Amino acid sequence: MKLGRLLILFAFFGLALGLAAQSIPTVNLSLTAPNSPRQLVTTLNVVLVLTLLILAPSLILVMTSFTRLIIVFSFLRTALGTQQSPPTQILVSLALALTFFIMEPVARQSYNAAIKPYMDNKISYDTAFERGIEPFKKFMLKNTREKDLALFFRIRNLPNPESEANVPLSVLIPAFMISELKTAFQIGFLLYLPFLVIDMVVSSILMAMGMMMLPPVMISLPFKILVFILVDGFNLLIGNLVASFH
């Protein structure tokens, strides 16, 4: 139920930012020229809504916790050496479910501050956009390294911002992405170490026994799975992953 409500929330978010009129306009698929400026604005709003719906999956990737989660899960599968188990669809679904869990407070703040008052016709479109994007900007800024943020300011030759509110999205989004990539690779490295030790021990034992033709992966795989189960790996990994987001 929470996932369903959150999906509806993201849909309302796109509609609220795309529609300037209080009611949904009638969509006319004809190629006639607009008869008034208001009709042109309404048509452009519909185009904006459709564009937002198309870009919604990409926005989930670049503005949420999804990137870090899916990369860490991929490292886990590679470290275990289980090839296609768990399947990619399961890992993506788990990353999406955790993304909705982590981002739900942020989406709720955006809804209460922007979408709800805009639908009640209490604030303007510009105010709704500024208030709606603010919780997401705070989330990204908390999880972005200053070094990565400064990189894109130097590339653009922009002065240092006086406050967080002055950081543009065009700079914040790529800085957030590379920060997430670095964090995910750091977690993946630490995740690899215990499984690498198991592989080295098994390889040494097989060499000492003269079993040179037997692939070490075939022997180490059951031990890696056993160790992961004994330490309750998914509980431990997911708990620390969720806690890693500020």
For 189-201, the pLDDT digits (tens) are 998 888 888 888 8
pLDDT range class, residue 179, cuts 50, 70, 90:
very high
| Torsional class of 160: left (φ above 0), alpha (ψ -120 to 50), beta (otherwise) | beta
> CA geometry: angle at 143 spanning 141 and 145, to 5°?
80
More confident position, 8 or 229: 229
Per-residue pLDDT, 44: 63
* pTM for the predicted model, two decimal places: 0.73
Per-residue pLDDT, 185: 93
The mean pLDDT of the chain is 77
Tell me which residue of 168, 104, 180 sits closest to 142, measured CA to CA.
180
How would you class 147 by CB atoms within 10 Å of its CB: exposed for 0-12, middle for 13-18, buried for 19 or more?
A: exposed
Contact by Cβ (8 Å): 227, 194: yes
Tell me which residue of 86, 80, 87, 104 sits closest to 227, measured CA to CA.
80
Distance, CA of 155 to CA of 173 (rounded, Å) = 14
The whole-angstrom distance between residue 168's C-alpha and the CA centroid of its chain comes to: 19
User: Is the pLDDT confidence value at 143 over 60?
Assistant: yes
